[in-house]
Structures are given as structure tokens and as C-alpha cells.
Amino acid sequence: MDKQGLPQNIASVLVIQLAGLGDMVLATPAIHALKQLYPAASISLLANSRSADIIIGSSEIYEVFILKGMKNIFKTLGFLRGRRYDVVINLARLYSLSGAVKMFLLFWLIRGKYWVGRNTDNKGFFYHLKIPEKLKEEKHEAESKLDIVRTLGAEVKEVKFCLNFNSDDEQFVDKLLDSGGINQNQHLLAINYSTFRPSRNWPHKFYAQLANQLYQETKATIAFLGVARDKNTFTQIKKQLNFAPLDFIGAFTVRQLGVFLKKCALLISPDSGTVHIANALGVPMVVLFGPGEYQRYRPYNKTNTIIINKNVECAPCFKLHCHNKKCMELIRPEEVLVAAKRLLNSS
């Protein structure tokens, strides 16, 4: 592919990754490969507040800039423009023409010497280096991001996920578990009850049925995870439980969540950023995959992972809310229990 105009001595790179938490996790192999390709370059990252936390402090990132909407957009972009980056890379695909125009404006405001990105259905007209792709092609998102760095010249021998935690994160989680009298040597199971996209959530009644059966058969410590905004609705599930679960709804930052997941023998969760964190850490899990793009956003590592996906005719869909939710209703507690026991017995 023609790389005419690519600077010979690349000293500074800006990576743009403005999607959600799962996308940021899936971007870490590409960022790692980029640092291997340009070891002497300072690599900066432009992200949003939802996803930046998981990578702040990484040895591969020189600095992270966080866009907070209209609060700081002009100040941040003005600062980035003054940096005159050698290369600016957008890791995300271009869903629509309007999205492509917005990304063009972002690149134009930042400037930079050489622009790189995915030419989704020829919408990346403004990039100097265009990586061809189709919007509906069945390629995993981690691989699509890596293709950008491969095109720049990287030889990717290992797909390496790089998440960042520190001692403060570990101490917080240990203290929380110790204060609850939790023996960390016994089986700790996590059920992620809610996601940022309600259309991906499993029906509440199924969570209660599954948790009761799981506790009855394993007597394990079961913790519920989820988005803080759903903490009140979790009380309805608790009323249906025959045991006292750990209520960790909204209890963790993203980094603390990663530390906690590493301590779990099993995670059960809908498709979410939590799934991608756990998968990157090698946590055994049962994934309830509903309306998302299965081939693109399934867990990348298949070891110790069982994905339940009913492949309904209306999937994939991008609705935030869905009154039908056939894709999730068809997943029954009994089959999730079987999958969970299978993974627990194999560990």
C-alpha cells in the first residue's frame, strides 16, 4: 500500500480512540504493536472519560488527553494542534458519512503531518494512508485495529492485551473484600447484571433464577456487578434471592474492576466492556451475547470462554433500548447454569 508522505523519522504519534470501554481494551494490542514499531516515538492518546481509565499509566503511552464534550473540546484540540504530531491515527471505523465528516473536522483541527485510518466503505477520504475495510465484514475489531499498524509496517507475532492497574487499585479491592469477611481462597463468582446499553441486559427474573441455582449447587460467594445507575433496580433482584450476595453495583472504578475480576473463578455477563476486560485477563466466563455484532465484538480469546448467542434474525442491532429483546429472552437460566458448571469443573 502506498505510504508516500509518511515521515521518515517518526518522533510523535497521536492515537485517537473515542469509543467505549470494550473498544479501548481491544485497542491495546494495536497500541502495543505501534510502540514496538516506533520504540523511540512518544505516543499520545485522545480518549473519552468512559474508557481512558483502563490505560492511564501505561508505559507505552506518553500522555492521555480526555475529551469531556463541550467542557474542554476546544482547549484540548488547540493544545494538540500545537504539538504538530508526525502521525495521527484513528483506530475506529467510520460508521456513517456524518461520522466521517466529524472525524475529518477533528483531524483538521488537530492537524498533524500524516493522517492514518480505516477507509470504511470509502468514507475515509481524508486520510493519507487509507486501510480498506467494509462496514459489514466479519473481522474481529482487535484485528481491524491491528491492521492499521500492520499497514504501517509492524510484524505482529503476538496479540498482546495491555491493561494497567496499580497498587492502590489492588489495596482498594483487598480492603473491600476483607471488610466483608470474604475469604479470597474460596470460589468467588461474579455476575454482571447491567451494562451501559440496556438493550444488551438479560431479563431481571433470569438473574435471580440463575443466582439461586448457582448458589444452591456451588455454595460459592457470588458478587453482583453493574452500572451505578442501576443500583436501585438491583434491589428487586435481591428480594428474589435465597442467599445474601455481595452488592458491588457501581463499587469499582474500571481499574479496580479489573483487579476484582482477576480474583474471580468465573464471570457471567452480557456483552460489555466488563467482558473484554475479563477476557484480556484470562478470567473464565459465560457471555450472554445478544444484539451486538458477534464476529466483530465477541471475546477475542476463546480459552475458558463459553458464548451463548441465539443468532436471531434482527441481530445485530444498535438500539439503546429494545422492547422485544428476543435475543436475550431466548437465553435461559438453565443453559447458563450448565455452561457455568462446565467451566468451574474444568478449572
- The verdict on residue 1 lying in a domain is no
- The verdict on residue 160 lying in a domain is no
Instruction: Summarize pLDDT for 268-315 with one digit per residue, the tens.
Output: 999 999 999 999 999 999 999 998 899 999 999 999 999 999 988 888
Q: Which residues pair with 289 in a beta bridge?
A: 309
- The verdict on residue 325 lying in a domain is yes
What pLDDT sits at residue 200? 86
Q: What is the 3-state secondary structure (H, E, C) of 155-195?
A: CCCCCCCCCCCCHHHHHHHHHHHHHCCCCCCCCEEEEECCC
Domain identity same for 225 and 267: yes
Mean pLDDT of the region 106-125: 96
Phi-psi region of 84 (alpha: psi -120 to 50; beta: other; left: phi over 0): left
Domain identity same for 109 and 60: yes
Better-predicted residue by pLDDT, 321 or 342: 342
SS3 336: helix
What pLDDT sits at residue 12? 97
Assigned C-alpha cell, 24: 479501548
Q: Do 170 and 259 touch, CB atoms closer than 8 A?
A: yes
Q: How many domains does the chain have?
A: 2
- Distance between CA atoms of residues 156 and 161, nearest Å: 13
What pLDDT sits at residue 8? 82
What pLDDT sits at residue 271? 94
Domain identity same for 122 and 263: no
Residue 1 has pLDDT above 60, yes or no: no
Exposed, middle or buried: residue 156 (CB in 10 Å: 0-12, 13-18, 19+)? middle
What pLDDT sits at residue 155? 92
- Distance between CA atoms of residues 90 and 313, nearest Å: 32
What pLDDT sits at residue 99? 95
Q: Which domain holds residue 206?
A: 167-346
* Residue pointed to by grid coordinates 463459553: 306
What pLDDT sits at residue 231? 83
- The verdict on residue 3 lying in a domain is no
Mean pLDDT of the region 107-127: 96
Residue 183 has pLDDT above 90, yes or no: no
Domain end among 124, 152, 180: 152
- The verdict on residue 42 lying in a domain is yes
Residue 129 has pLDDT above 90, yes or no: yes
Domain identity same for 128 and 226: no
Residue 141 has pLDDT above 80, yes or no: yes
Residue 229 has pLDDT above 90, yes or no: no
- The verdict on residue 59 lying in a domain is yes
- The verdict on residue 97 lying in a domain is yes
Domain identity same for 215 and 330: yes
**Residue 255: which CATH number?**
3.40.50.2000
DSSP per-residue codes, 28-95 = HHHHHHHHHHSTTSEEEEEEETTTGGGTTT-TT-SEEEEE-GGGTHHHHHHHHHHH--SEEEE-S---
CA torsion angle for 166, 170, 173, 175 (degrees, to 10)?
-130
What pLDDT sits at residue 180? 80
Assigned C-alpha cell, 335: 443453559
The band of 333, judged by pLDDT with boundaries at 50, 70 and 90, is very high
Nearest to residue 192, comparing CAs of 126, 279, 285? 285
- The verdict on residue 213 lying in a domain is yes
**What angle do helix axes 204-218 and 231-238 make, rounded to 10 degrees?**
50
Q: How far is CA 33 from the centre of its chain?
A: 18
The mean pLDDT value of the chain amounts to 92
Q: Residue 43 phi/psi, 5° resolution? A: -105, 120
Domain identity same for 145 and 187: no
294-338-230 Cα angle (round to 5): 60
Instruction: Summarize pLDDT for 314-330 with one digit per residue, the tens.
Output: 888 888 888 888 888 99
Domain identity same for 190 and 261: yes
Residue 35 has pLDDT above 60, yes or no: yes
Handedness of CA 172, 176, 178, 179 (dihedral sign): positive
Domain identity same for 25 and 84: yes
Percent above pLDDT 70 for the chain = 99
Percent above pLDDT 90 for the chain = 74
The band of 164, judged by pLDDT with boundaries at 50, 70 and 90, is confident
The band of 2, judged by pLDDT with boundaries at 50, 70 and 90, is low
Domain identity same for 244 and 216: yes
What pLDDT sits at residue 4? 66
Work out the end-to-end distance of the chain between its first and last CA atoms, rounded to an integer number of angstroms.
Answer: 46
Domain identity same for 180 and 148: no
Mean pLDDT of the region 17-34: 96
Domain identity same for 236 and 145: no
Which residues are within 8 A (CB) of 272 and not within 5 positions of it... i.e. 6 or more apart? 21, 22, 192, 195, 196, 197, 200
Element (H, E) at 227: none
Domain identity same for 96 and 174: no
